[in-house]
Structure 1
Amino acid sequence: MPLQDELDAVRERCHESTPQHISRVRQGAIEDLVSSGIAERAVRAGDYAPRFRLRDSDGKAISSNDLLERGPVLVVFYRGRWCPYCRLDLRALEAVARNLRSTGVSIVAVSPQTADESGATERIHNLSFPCLVDRGGRVASAFGLRWKVSQELRAAELETGLDLAAVNGEPSWTLTMPARYVIGPDGIVEYADISVDYTRRGDPTELFPVLNQIRARVVH
């Protein structure tokens, strides 16, 4: 089943089980992000990717410079383990991770959640790629993906039991727009898929043509 079909099914279930006033606030936040133009200002294909150095859930430092020395890098930004759409997205990527790595790409997932939450994400979903800790959304901000949660949305999420200050281990109440970036060995973004609407994601199969083109250039 295509990833978006699975996401649509989750969205329908969430709509049925979530109080209407909370659904309205969440939808309003998506519409506000769309109208803000934040996605258009984010790092796009053809831009140089911001360099980063983050720690994994075990505290090991992983830098984009080191990864790019080995080949292209797929950077997956996600909101957190608490997000059912992100969980589906990560599982879909894991399902093709072995084939992705056969093209020479390194895969890392990045979120603002704590190391404990990141480690739980890896274990629960049996991920073969590391979940890096972007405390305060510093790297997400460099990519143009970080945004401030409104007071209305904050109150709605607290009502559902989601406390971002606790999950992320810092009080900013900011979120990261889900996104996937393929960065070539030269540091230039070859592919960018930014989900202003967090319930929508590109299918992982879209990554293969990009990665195969990079591999063909490297070989020749």
Structure 2
Amino acid sequence: MRIGILIILIIMKAVVVLSQKDKLKKFGIEDNDVPKGLMVGEKAPLFTGIDQNGSTFDLRSQLKKSSVVLIFYRGYWCPVCSKYLKSYVDSAELVTEKGATLLFITPEAEDGVEKTIKKNKLNYTVVLDKDESIMKAFDVDFEVTRGYQKKIKTFLFADIAKNNNKETAILPVPATFIIDQSGTVVYRQFDLNYKNRASIREIVENLPE
């Protein structure tokens, strides 16, 4: 009897593990490369990066002036990203009126960023994470599975690695972090399902006073 129960439990566990692997692969993530994202209460890495205008963005310097809403996005080719970027642009004043700064981070190369800005009328700072160091520091990066890369090429006509000007296709979980002026993460929206994003309402409600 006990052996029978044990066998059933082992089978159930195996089914759950396989189900989790399938779910991850659906989003282009291998089960041995699952990002976790910075947690609320942790200090944000004080990075510098080059924006779409070739200017240097320094997070440490910006935090002396305001809190920062940091949003990772995947690329111009991603229709879900475009949908949310447009909603952020349309409602950005709700964020900036409370004294916060909107900042977008992407692994896209210059050509892709230019398309994103033009497509979504994005008039805010976009930092190009060319060496993927910012994504790594926030623990949102992952190497895209070959199957998912093929899917994007087939249905969205985009080569992820080529769009990022890289040999390897790396993407971020499209997470949102709110960083207060002390450099602490006070809010995060992090979901391996790229279709789930932070709403403007959630962002505004969690902005530091």
TM-score range, shorter chain: 0.7 to 0.9
Structure-2 separation of matches of 1:156 and 1:149: 11
Structure-1 separation of matches of 2:47 and 2:96: 21
Larger radius of gyration: 2
Structure-1 separation of matches of 2:79 and 2:23: 16
Name the count of aligned residue pairs.
Answer: 188
Question: Taking structure 1 as the reference length, what is the TM-score of the superposition?
Answer: 0.78
Match of 1:204 in 2: 200
- Structure 1 residue 67 displacement after superposition: 1.0
Task: Map 1:164-179; keep pairs closer than 5 Å.
Answer: 164-179=160-175
Specify the code of the residue in structure 1 equivalent to 2:118. Answer: R
- Give the RMSD, CA atoms, in angstroms: 2.3
Give unpaired runs (5+ residues) of structure 2.
Answer: 1-21
Match of 1:16 in 2: none
Task: Map 1:26-105; keep pairs closer than 5 Å.
Answer: 29-30=25-26, 33=29, 38-39=34-35, 41-105=36-100
Structure-2 separation of matches of 1:88 and 1:27: 23
Match of 2:114 in 1: 119
Specify the code of the residue in structure 1 equivalent to 2:140. Answer: L
Give unpaired runs (5+ residues) of structure 1.
Answer: 1-25, 216-220
**Contact 2:46–2:59 at 8 Å: present in 1 too?**
yes
Identical-residue share of aligned pairs (%) = 22
Match of 1:186 in 2: 182
Cα 1:186–1:95 change in 2 (3 A) is same
Structure-1 separation of matches of 2:190 and 2:24: 18
Question: Taking structure 2 as the reference length, what is the TM-score of the superposition?
Answer: 0.82
Give the secondary-structure state (helix, strand or coil) at the position aligned to 2:43: coil
